[in-house]
Amino acid sequence: MAFFDPAEQRMGVRVVYDGVAGSGKTTNLRQLCALFATQRTTELYTPAELDGRTLYFDWAQISAGVVCGFPLLCQVISVPGHVVLTPRRRHLLATADVIVYVCDSTASSVERAREGLELVDAIGRERGAPLPFLIQANKQDQAGALAGGALLRELGREGVPFVEAIAADGIGVVDTFVHAVRAVSRRMQEQSNAGTLQVPVRAADRPADLLAELAEAALDPEMAAEMLLEEASAAFLLAGLEGPSDEQDVDVVGEGDVEAPVEVPARAGRSASLPRLPQGDVPTGFVWPAHTGRGTLHDLHDGGALRDAVPSATGEGAFVRDAGNFVLRTALAARFEDAESARQALVRAARERTQLGPLLAPETVLVAQDDGREATWIWTLTPRMPDLVSWLEERHEDAAATGPALVAFGNALATAVTLARLQGIGMSFEPRAFGVQEGVVRYVGDLGRAPIAEAEVDAAVAEAVRIVETARGNGPMVLEAFSAELRRRLSHAEVAGLGSGKAA
């Protein structure tokens, strides 16, 4: 809220950038700090973020002319856009003197933007009067972007001031800020002229003060799991992984693959209900990665891959569905009697998968889908790729191709040992639990198994090498890569403690 700082003899206002996640709020503030390098009085401050997504706020202070005869200080703040952080967003909007609502101008984003505006309206009703407010029609460079006027019509906000922008390139950023400052300055000047302007007298807030306030705003407990999924998703995306092209020519993983995506304790009282294929309308918090997983589900649904009600059973309580470019798997071990238990298992499974780093195929998706009766199943969606054994059998004469893959497999086995020892995560050493995606080795097995015991490492590595050699691969190359990578990851004492130490 507006204030007067007697020590500095200046007026202060708060310009709050609002909008749904990914619309470009933080990008605006970063550009403002670069473009107003001489006018800003602070560096851009962000208490916490994940993969560039704001968790609390972004903060900057910019000197911006004069209002009511005093220098004007603008505290420029962006709010977190994700739905789970709505309590923090609400708190920040309630302190605004003017709101800039940043929109992704693409037609597919309009509905989310329209829903996000409902909170802005609610804040205005709570304050008894609407706030100065404008819309930034951002991302005008995207295919299918709506012009500002058309965007306003789609949002049902005709008459609201707008600025078209490409914030990533700095286009429209200054105009947006200037319009916002002019709107609040004009309002304050009009109130001053009428003798109705009343502002508290106090020192300017600090970011630490605001952070302490937000820390007291409890998040919706129903959305807590979604927050954990966002954290896991961010760790996954920050790995900088790149997936295969759409033109990849691969084979479906064979029946020897590890089939259960999540290992959970046995539960009594299971009924005979069957899993239902995952759908794009699963509730918030029931899909990972939260950023892209739902989009994958929608694509599969639109392509007709999810139309059958029941997947194929493969024996031993496993269910598999070939869905075009993806293979979908679940199992009785991934069946839960209630949705909350399934959601918690989904969070655990997502966090385990982020530990795989580049071994995890970037397109991997986890979904908790109810079966239409009483149970919820965890599905694992992985991109189609041949398992390592099949891949080697087809390319064993191409040393230039198989050599890097065998080294990568040896490194992967060392990763499995490291995760078991340091994180308590169990991976299979079976070569068929690994796939090859455009020459890159990925882990497609389950992570729910018990971590391999130290005394069993030598035997497990030896068996993996034997299977590789059966597929006419270079076993010594795998063993050499495993030994070198293990020594890089673990101390000499830790390596010596693994079995007899012969494998390493």
- What residues contact 38, with CB distance under 8 A and at least 6 apart? none
Question: Cα separation of 285 and 120, whole Å?
Answer: 24
Neighbours of 315 (CB within 10 A): 7
Question: Cα separation of 279 and 294, whole Å?
Answer: 9
For residue 160 the two structure tokens come to 């609201």
Identify the CATH number of the domain defined by range 3-219.
Answer: 3.40.50.300
CB 140 within 8 A of CB 105: yes
Amino acid 34: pLDDT: 85
Give per-10-residue mean pLDDT for the chain (504 aa). Answer: 80 89 87 80 64 65 83 86 68 88 90 88 84 90 86 93 89 90 89 84 78 64 48 45 33 33 36 77 78 84 78 72 90 87 80 83 91 88 94 90 93 90 86 93 85 88 95 93 89 68 46
Q: Is 216 helix (H, G, I), strand (E, B) or coil?
A: coil
Amino acid 104: pLDDT: 92
Distances (CA, A) of 160 to 163, 229, 280, 322: 10, 36, 34, 49
Sketch the domain layout of the chain as residue ranges: 3-219, 225-383, 388-496
Q: Is 223 helix (H, G, I), strand (E, B) or coil?
A: helix
Question: Cα separation of 206 and 264, whole Å?
Answer: 47
Question: Cα separation of 478 and 438, whole Å?
Answer: 19
What is the number of alpha carbons within 13 Å of residue 64 lying toward its C-beta? Answer: 26
- What residues contact 73, with CB distance under 8 A and at least 6 apart? 5, 8, 10, 11, 12, 13, 41, 61, 62, 63, 64, 204
Question: Cα separation of 276 and 330, whole Å?
Answer: 10
Amino acid 169: pLDDT: 82
Question: Cα separation of 177 and 164, whole Å?
Answer: 12
Question: Cα separation of 249 and 239, whole Å?
Answer: 25
What is the distance in angstroms between the CA of the first residue and the CA of the last residue of the chain?
Answer: 64
Distances (CA, A) of 235 to 50, 58, 116, 159, 492: 8, 21, 26, 42, 29
For residue 441 the two structure tokens come to 């080795």
Amino acid 55: pLDDT: 62
Q: Is the peptide bond before 87 cis (omega within 30 degrees of 0)?
A: no
Q: Largest Cα–Cα distance of the chain, in whole Å?
A: 90
494 alpha carbon, distance to own chain's centre: 34
Residue labelled with tokens 């009697």: 337
- What residues contact 47, with CB distance under 8 A and at least 6 apart? 55, 56, 57, 207, 211
Element (H, E) at 267: none
Amino acid 219: pLDDT: 52
Q: Determine the residue type at 184.
A: V
R_g of the chain computed on alpha carbons? 28
